Structure 1
Amino acid sequence: MPTLVGFAGMACIIFAYAYLTGKAEPNPFVQHGVNLLGAALLTVSLVYHPNLPSLVLEGFWAAIAIWGLVKAMRNRRSAQ
C-alpha cells in the first residue's frame, strides 16, 4: 500500500509540472497545492521505504509548495 501511495504522489508531481508547462497562466493554487499533496504522499511512502536523500527532497518540495501557496494567498488579498 505505501508504494501505491508513493505512485499517487509521483503522479501529482508530474501532473503539476505538466500543468505549469502547458498552461499559459497556471493557477498557483492548483500548481502548488498538487505539488504539496504529491510531496505528502511520497513522504508516506518514504516512511515505509526509507531513502534519506529522497525524504529530504520531499521536505524541501513541500516547503517550497507551502511558500508558493502563501505567496498566492497574499497576492490574492492585495488584488482585492
Structure 2
Amino acid sequence: MNHDVLQILGALTVLGGYVANQLGWTGPRSLGYLIANTLGAGVLAWLAWTSRDWGFLLLEGVWAIVSAAGLLSALRSRRPADPTATA
C-alpha cells in the first residue's frame, strides 16, 4: 500500500472515532473510540517518522501514546476482579 493511501486510512480512522464521539454514538472512554484513535494516530505517527516530518510526528505520536494509555486503562477497568487476589 502506498504512503498516501495509508495516510488517508489513518486520518479516516481518527476522524471516524471523533465523529462517532461527537454524534453521541460512542463515548471518549469506549473501546471503539480508543482503538480508532490509537490505530489511526499510530499509523500516522509511523508515516511521519518515515518521512521525517517532525512536527506531525510530535502531534500524532503524542496522540497515539495518550490514546494507547487510555485504551490500556479502559481494558484494565473492564477486567473482572480476581477473587483469589489478596488486598
TM-score by length of 1: 0.82
Structure 2 SS opposite 1:39: helix
Q: Say what the alpha-carbon RMSD is for the aligned residues.
A: 2.0
The correspondence for 1:42, drawn from 31, 41, 44, is 44
Q: Which has the higher contact order (CA 8 A, sep 6+)?
A: 1
Report what 2:56 is aligned to.
54
Query: C-alpha deviations, 1:11-62, integer Å up to 9, x for none?
Result: 0111011111112653621001011110122123323433101101111111
How many percent of aligned residue pairs carry the same amino acid? 25
Report what 1:11 is aligned to.
12
Q: Give yes or no for the alignment of 1:65 onto 2:67.
A: yes
Structure 2 SS opposite 1:43: helix
TM-score by length of 2: 0.76
Runs of 5+ in structure 1 lacking a partner? none
Structure in which a larger fraction of residues adopt helix: 1
Task: Answer with 1 or 2: which has the greater Rg.
Answer: 2
Runs of 5+ in structure 2 lacking a partner? 82-87
Give 4+ residue runs of structure 1 displaced > 3 Å after superposition.
Answer: none
Aligned residues: 79
Whole-Å separation in 2 of the counterparts to 1:75 and 1:47: 32
